[in-house]
């Protein structure tokens, strides 16, 4: 049994959100409320990556058991994968005041056996026991020495996944207009809608691939009232819209400080499925949408879905992105567009365009965009400001709605 003295391990950095202290989970790239058990988990994640040399990309957190065994309940605190994403190690985390008992060992061994993981570990931050499956005894046995990730894999005859950084392959600028780029974006990448004007496609591909390319980082926002803490790269997640749709995939994730509150803002571009007389969607075009999401602690939602087919106005090689203020509030319905515009322009006058609409930025599509481009950062900053103000107004409308219900 390994005795881990986490008191000598530096506490993970905390971030404040509405007065609640949170950790930034480097695995899921989410804010997680600080609790005794979460503190143990974040410290153990550091232990796994630093002491056992386990690549972050090989780790998952809060994995439902039903993903592996349909119908089975429970969540795995930490799951480490080996070669070809085969389950390798299951870790159960308990709060420091919880004593590790035989029932705790049996629980983690049960999860590991369900998944076919050859290793299982349990910890409360003081005790760390690592077991391996002994075929001859047909049960899990304690490991006597702390192994590395490579040793874990080779001990059972698996290759250790290298998880070497893979350079994101972007479409060369001179090929953005090609049929191949169009077909890939429409069918394989899913960020160009079937009915999106062909003239707009090179711009959408350029912007979508800019968001997905980790080789450059956002460094700040001009004119913004909030501060960039860090560009956290790509996170795979899903957000739903008011109509019941789901936008699932990779999001460029930026951590920002808004008046002392830490928020995670996500950006991605998705295509909408074209439908005709669909029972749910009715008849709609296959458009391309820019999605902006916001995380608060462990809650996350989509704040803005901007249809580029409508709100990206192209003139030669310049594309102006704007919005008319359309917004819905769950359980309430649509808010008058002028009310949205008045609220936004009162709090962020710089977002008001000459036409009285929300001005989100203008990009010259004459080069491959990068996250460090000043006009890209201006666009992202404006989108964040607009999304935050829309959330503020949503909250106000919900409060007004609840007060009215109480009066009625």
Computed on alpha carbons and rounded to an integer, the radius of gyration of the chain in Å comes to 24
In a domain, 186, yes or no: yes
Concatenating the DSSP letter of every residue in 200-255 gives GHHHHHHHHHHHH-TTS-----TT-SSEEEEEEEEEEEEEE-TTS-EEEEEEEEEE
Whether 130 and 181 map to the same domain: the answer is no
Same domain, 181 and 315: yes
* Domain end among 128, 155, 182: 155
pTM above 0.85, yes or no: yes
* Band of residue 271 on the pLDDT scale cut at 50, 70, 90: very high
**Domain holding 37: CATH number?**
3.90.1570.30
- Taking alpha carbons only, the member of 387, 395, 393 closest to residue 295 is 387
- Residue-wise over 252-277: b if at least 16 C-beta within 10 A, else e? bbbbbebeebbbbbbbbbbbbeeeee
Residue 161 domain-assigned (yes or no): no
CA distance 227 to 221: 7
Tell whether 223 and 315 lie within a shared domain: yes
Q: Is position 292 within any domain? A: yes
Pair 260, 144 in one domain = no
Indicate if 245 and 107 belong to the same structural domain.
Answer: no
The token pair at 373 is: 């481009």
Decide which of 400 and 281 is more confident. 400
Last residue of some domain: 124, 155, 186?
A: 155
Assess if residue 164 is contained within a domain. Answer: no
Q: Which has more confidence, 81 or 242? A: 81
Residue at a domain's end among 125, 155, 185: 155
Domain shared by 214 and 292, yes or no: yes
Q: Percent of the chain scored above 70 by pLDDT?
A: 92
Pair (151, 228) in one structural domain:
no
Average the pLDDT over each of 33-42, 79-88, 149-158, 161-170 and give the range with the smallest value. Answer: 161-170
Q: Is residue 296 part of a domain?
A: yes
Instruction: Find the angle CA(174)-CA(176)-CA(180) to the nearest 5 degrees.
Output: 110
Residues 182, 81 share a domain: no
Distance of alpha carbon 228 from alpha carbon 211, whole angstroms: 16
Confidence tier at 151 by pLDDT (50, 70, 90): confident
Report pLDDT digits (tens) over 122-134. Answer: 998 888 888 888 8
| Statement: residue 179 has pLDDT above 90 | yes
**Residue 335 confidence (pLDDT):** 93
Mean pLDDT taken over the chain: 88
Domain that holds residue 10: 2-155
Does residue 29 carry a pLDDT above 80? Answer: yes
Q: Are residues 178 and 118 in the same domain?
A: no
Pair (146, 191) in one structural domain: no
The pLDDT score that the predictor gives to residue 13 is: 92
Which residues sit opposite 123 in a β-bridge? 93, 128
pLDDT of residue 256: 96
Of 389 and 107, more confident: 389
Q: Is the dihedral of CA 230, 235, 238, 243 positive or negative?
A: positive
> Do both 149 and 185 map to the same domain?
no
Q: What is the pLDDT of residue 307?
A: 96
SS3 386: helix
pLDDT at 281: 66
Q: Evaluate whether residue 160 is within a structural domain.
A: no
**Does 163 fall in a domain?**
no
- Confidence band of 394 (pLDDT split at 50, 70, 90): very high
At residue 1 the predicted structure's pLDDT band, cuts being 50, 70 and 90, is low
Are 360 and 207 contacting, i.e. CB atoms less than 8 angstroms apart?
Answer: no
Average pLDDT value for residue range 276-284: 72
Looking at residue 244, its pLDDT comes to 64
Give me the mean pLDDT over the 296-319 stretch: 88
Q: State whether 177 and 307 are in the same domain.
A: yes
Across 327-353, average pLDDT: 93
Check whether 319 has a pLDDT greater than 90: yes
Helical segments of 262-336, H only:
308-311
In a domain, 179, yes or no: yes
Domain count, the chain: 2
Mean pLDDT of 34-50: 91
């Amino acid at each position: 049994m390994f005795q881990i003295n986490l008191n000598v391990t530096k506490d993970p950095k905390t971030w404040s959100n509405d007065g609640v202290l949170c950790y930034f989970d480097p695995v899921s790239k989410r804010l997680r409320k600080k609790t005794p058990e979460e503190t143990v988990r974040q410290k153990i994640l550091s232990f796994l990556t630093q002491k056992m040399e386990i690549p972050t990309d090989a780790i998952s957190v809060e994995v439902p058991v039903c993903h592996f065994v349909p119908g089975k309940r429970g969540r795995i605190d930490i799951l480490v994968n080996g070669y070809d994403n085969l389950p390798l190690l299951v870790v159960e985390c308990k709060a420091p005041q919880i004593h590790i008992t035989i029932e705790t060992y049996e629980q983690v061994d049960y999860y590991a056996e369900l998944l076919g993981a050859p290793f299982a570990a349990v910890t409360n931050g003081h005790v760390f026991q690592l077991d391996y499956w002994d075929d001859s005894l047909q049960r899990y046995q304690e490991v006597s020495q702390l192994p590395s990730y490579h040793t874990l894999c080779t001990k059972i005859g698996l290759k250790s996944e290298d998880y070497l950084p893979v350079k994101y392959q972007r479409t060369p600028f001179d090929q953005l207009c090609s049929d191949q780029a169009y077909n890939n974006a429409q069918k394989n990448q899913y960020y160009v809608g079937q009915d999106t004007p062909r003239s707009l496609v090179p711009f959408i591909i350029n912007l979508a691939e800019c968001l997905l390319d980790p080789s450059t980082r956002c460094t700040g926002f001009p004119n913004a009232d909030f501060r960039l803490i860090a560009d956290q790269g790509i996170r795979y997640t899903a957000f739903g819209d008011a109509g019941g749709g789901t936008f699932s995939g990779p999001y460029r994730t930026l951590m920002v400080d808004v008046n002392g509150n830490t928020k995670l803002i996500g950006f991605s571009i998705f295509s909408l499925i074209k439908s005709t007389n669909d029972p749910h969607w009715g008849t709609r075009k296959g458009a391309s949408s820019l999605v902006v999401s916001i995380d608060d602690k462990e809650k996350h939602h989509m704040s803005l879905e901007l249809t580029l087919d409508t709100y990206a106005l192209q003139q030669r090689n310049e594309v102006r992105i704007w919005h008319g203020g359309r917004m819905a509030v769950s359980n309430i319905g649509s808010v008058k567009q002028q009310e949205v515009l008045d609220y936004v322009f009162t709090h962020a006058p710089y977002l008001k365009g000459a036409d009285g609409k929300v001005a989100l930025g203008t990009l010259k599509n004459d080069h491959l965009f990068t996250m460090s481009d000043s006009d890209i950062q201006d666009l992202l900053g404006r989108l964040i400001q607009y999304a935050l103000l829309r959330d503020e107004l949503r909250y106000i409308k919900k409060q007004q709605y609840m007060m009215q219900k109480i009066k009625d």
